[in-house]
Amino acid sequence: MTCKEAVQYIMPYINDEMNVHEVEAFLTHIRGCQECYEELEVYYTIYAGLAQLDSDSDNFDMHNLLEAALRDSRGRVRAHRNFNVFYVLSQVAAVLSLILLIFTRW
Ligand SMILES: [Zn+2]
């Protein structure tokens, strides 16, 4: 992902409008690119800060809120990947046991 693409993903990221693959690519870029991280932090401070004003929360440590949001996103990407691995393995196991069943009956 280029810096230009990463910057275009900032608002969709904040609004939670990206699929898990886009989020993964976005997070990878943000982690490795200080400029885009700072750009994200500026937008996040403005938009999430406004949302905080509307809520009863008095937590305005936006840097830590952003870090928590990024950790949360990474967790979701990881959970998605683990689920896919589990799904593929269970499919393979099902096919193998079918094959085993067919051949042991002969
Ligand atoms: Zn960048």
| Tens-digit pLDDT profile for residues 45-100 | 998 888 877 777 777 788 898 999 999 999 999 999 888 888 999 999 999 999 99
CA distance 81 to 26: 16
Return the pLDDT at 53.
78
Centre of ligand 1 from the C-alpha of residue 34, in Å: 7
H or E element: which one contains 102? Answer: helix 62-104
Cα–Cα distance, 68 to 75 (Å, whole number): 10
DSSP class of 56: S
Cα 6 to ligand 1 centroid, rounded to whole Å: 6
Using the mean position of ligand 1's atoms as its centre, give its distance from the Cα of residue 95 in Å.
44
HSE-up of residue 27 (Cα within 13 Å, Cβ side): 20
Ion ligand 1 — residues with CB < 5 Å: 3, 6, 33, 36
Terminal Cα-to-Cα distance of the chain (whole angstroms): 54
Contact indicator for 50, 65 with CB cutoff of 8 Å: no
The pLDDT value recorded for residue 27 is 96
| pLDDT of 12 above 70 | yes
Q: How far is the CA of 27 from the centre of ligand 1 (A)?
A: 11
Backbone φ and ψ of 70, nearest 5°: -65, -40
11 C-alpha to ligand 1 centroid (Å): 15
Tell me the pTM.
0.74
- Give the pLDDT of residue 106: 63
